[in-house]
Structure 1
């Protein structure tokens, strides 16, 4: 019995490697964690990236692409002062993570940004299909509408979608947000 207590600290944290763990994903995750500068701690990064990578798999099959998207979303969301899970929900509803998406009214990219914004800010050459550019625009716009709506998510999301006064879009995003939390 004494021996078991002496070994307890080592045994308590020793977990066998599950057979289904993908070594390629592990390596990608390690690189992603080391490059994830928007996280305060390596372990937070690892946990969040692993959790969200599993959720994103239904939209993006390749592990490397999933981690690239997740790092970019986390970084831009944090830069804008948004919850990354909310941004993931918006992207799910807007484009299902298709960076080449173009809506019937011309909105482009994962966060479905209207091209007129490029002219409004004097950057006509910006590429809204570029994921990083699209996320920068989208997170900035969403944060603006959240401030304008005094923190009311439903109003901010309706403004983001151009459907202010209607709540079908915010409901879709809020439902998706529950899956990302």
Structure 2
């Protein structure tokens, strides 16, 4: 079992910012990240082996292509992942929030540890982990996207406590923002010519031409 320890200055005024990040792994296997290295064991994080693939003026298009591939491989809707990344980090691989969330999909250190990420600032690794986590939340809330997004932002426990979006203005605004971005990216995505059906709960049948919106449902092609 290993864990991640994070130390960041919290007085930076912007919610998401970019900085130099330093890292070391201690004797117990705990991975430490900081922007204020006070121990000689810290080294500037160099492990972002895929970072160079996602730089330059067309970096967002490169990220789009990777998101489309990874989301498809995991049975998720690419437009949704693009929307989450845009809302979380605006496609900044080095983004760190004032509460310590990391990378493109702004994974908290404990979540990154649970997902076994070795470098949360690596674009591909962060996206893979973030998709896995969002898929888990969708399964937990039986494909209720609103609750899954609220849990992604405010934490699983908060949503389970209230049984709805928590009464946190920032979370409510976040869910609304992601859904608006989601509709935007859906409008740009090709639609399937086939319609699929599946049962979400007794008496509730879903029909869709976007089966990846329902990654945990068993869908079959609908034929009249």
Which TM-score tier does this pair reach, normalised by the shorter chain?
0.5 to 0.7
Residue of 127, 135, 146 corresponding to 1:143: 135
Residue 170 in 1 paired to residue 175 in 2?
Answer: yes
Structure 1 residue 89 displacement after superposition: 0.5
Question: For the Cα contact (< 8 Å) 2:146–2:175, is it kept in 1?
Answer: yes
Residue of 90, 93, 96 corresponding to 1:96: 90
* 1:74 aligned partner: 68
> Over alpha carbons, which structure has the higher Rg?
1
Aligned length: 119
* 2:48 aligned partner: none
- 1:19-34 maps to which residues of 2 (within 5 A)? none
Q: Distance in 2 between matches of 1:99 and 1:139?
A: 15
* 1:37 aligned partner: none
Structure 1 residue 78 displacement after superposition: 1.2
Q: Distance in 2 between matches of 1:118 and 1:93?
A: 19
Question: For the Cα contact (< 8 Å) 2:60–2:91, is it kept in 1?
Answer: no
Task: Give SS of 1:156's match.
Answer: helix
Question: For the Cα contact (< 8 Å) 2:112–2:129, is it kept in 1?
Answer: no
Question: For the Cα contact (< 8 Å) 2:141–2:148, is it kept in 1?
Answer: yes
Residue of 111, 117, 125 corresponding to 1:133: 125
Task: Give SS of 2:104's match.
Answer: coil
Structure 1 residue 139 displacement after superposition: 0.2
- 1:32-43 maps to which residues of 2 (within 5 A)? none
Choose between structure 1 and 2: higher strand proportion.
2
Q: Provide, for residues 108-147 of structure 1, a one-character-per-residue CA deviation record: whole Å limited to 9, x for no partner.
A: 00100111234335x47x1101000100110000000011
Residue 62 in 1 paired to residue 57 in 2?
Answer: yes
Q: Distance in 1 between matches of 2:112 and 2:133?
A: 12
Choose between structure 1 and 2: higher helix proportion.
1
TM-score, length-normalised on structure 2?
Answer: 0.49
Q: Distance in 1 between matches of 2:111 and 2:140?
A: 18
Q: Distance in 2 between matches of 1:79 and 1:117?
A: 21
Q: Provide, for residues 92-120 of structure 1, a one-character-per-residue CA deviation record: whole Å limited to 9, x for no partner.
A: 10011111100111110010011123433
In structure 1, runs of 5+ residues without a counterpart are 1-59
TM-score, length-normalised on structure 1?
Answer: 0.60
